[in-house]
A and B are shown apart, each in its own frame.
Chain A
Amino acid sequence: MQAAVIVFPGSNCDRDVAVCLEAATGQAPIMAWHGDANLPKCDLIVLPGGFSYGDYLRCGSMAANSPIMREVVEQAHKGASVLGICNGFQVLTECGLLPGVLMQNKGLNFVCRNTQLNVTNNKTAFTSLYGAGEEITIPVAHNEGNYFADDDTLKQLQDEDRIALTYAKGDNPNGACLDIAGISDASGRIVGMMPHPERRAEATLGGDDGKRMFSGIVEVLS
């Protein structure tokens, strides 16, 4: 299978994600630059965390309109699996692949700490190796992670079982609606999440709860 990591000016988790993908797939992913107008056909595309384009205008808004994103959106519509982490989640909402928006944290502070998460839906392409409702620990590091959508959209996400990850009760770091930490599209192939699985993907990082996010998608695609 072919995996790619999209690199925007200001991305800073791209290499960490590449290490996780190489560990899961056995081969180094394509590192695709934001200005590239072409992307070889991929089975899996990851939009990493960081501060693409310096977070100008709105987080993810500039990246969503970059040349490479036209390719990403097209391949996503044709069946590629896509994971957006943190800033990557913001890009996915700005480009319309996922609904809603990530607003500034309710507490006005950048939050960087471990969070307890519940795997609310373990049937997405990325969460299949977790137990239903399993509690896992994955860190967040963001200033704009406060998931917001109108009531109709939130109801639709609930009805269609598209809330993939929620912050455990009492551990919501940003004020997100319904404690949402990650959602998927209707097919479960496109997932956006604020926590950083690549930052907790091996024991030396303090734990490996994030590792199954990558090994899970590789298993699904193999």
Chain B
Amino acid sequence: MKATIHITLKNGVLDPQGKAIENALGSLGFGGVDDVRQGKLIEVSLDESDADKARATLTDMCEKLLANTVIENYDIHLSEA
């Protein structure tokens, strides 16, 4: 299976890069941008065909390494290879 993991900053955690991007969009003339948040996308290919098992393994990976849960949320999307 293939997994796409989105890692984003939790609400309330300051995101200076997102703020800088928001300002840059404004200076390029893009109006109406209320907020920009920047995160990470990690793709993992797994040798596992059972979706539940894959999700359990990926959750463990996120908790132990891929995300820092003090400041980050993670969201796992699974798809067939």
Contacts and interface: CB of A to CB of B under 8 A. Distances in A.
Nearest to B40: A57
Main secondary structure of the interface of B (DSSP, over half): helix
A65 interface: yes
A205 interface: no
Given A148-B70, A148-B71, A103 B65 contact: no
A14 interface: no
Interface in B11-44: 13-14, 16-17, 20
A6 B16 CA distance: 32
Contacts of A103: 13-14, 71
A49 B17 CA distance: 24
Contact size range, B: 10 to 19
A101 B68 contact: yes
B20 A94 contact: no
A216 interface: no
Contacts of B14: 103, 106, 146, 148, 175
A104 B71 CA distance: 12
Interface of B: 13-14, 16-17, 20, 64-66, 68, 70-71
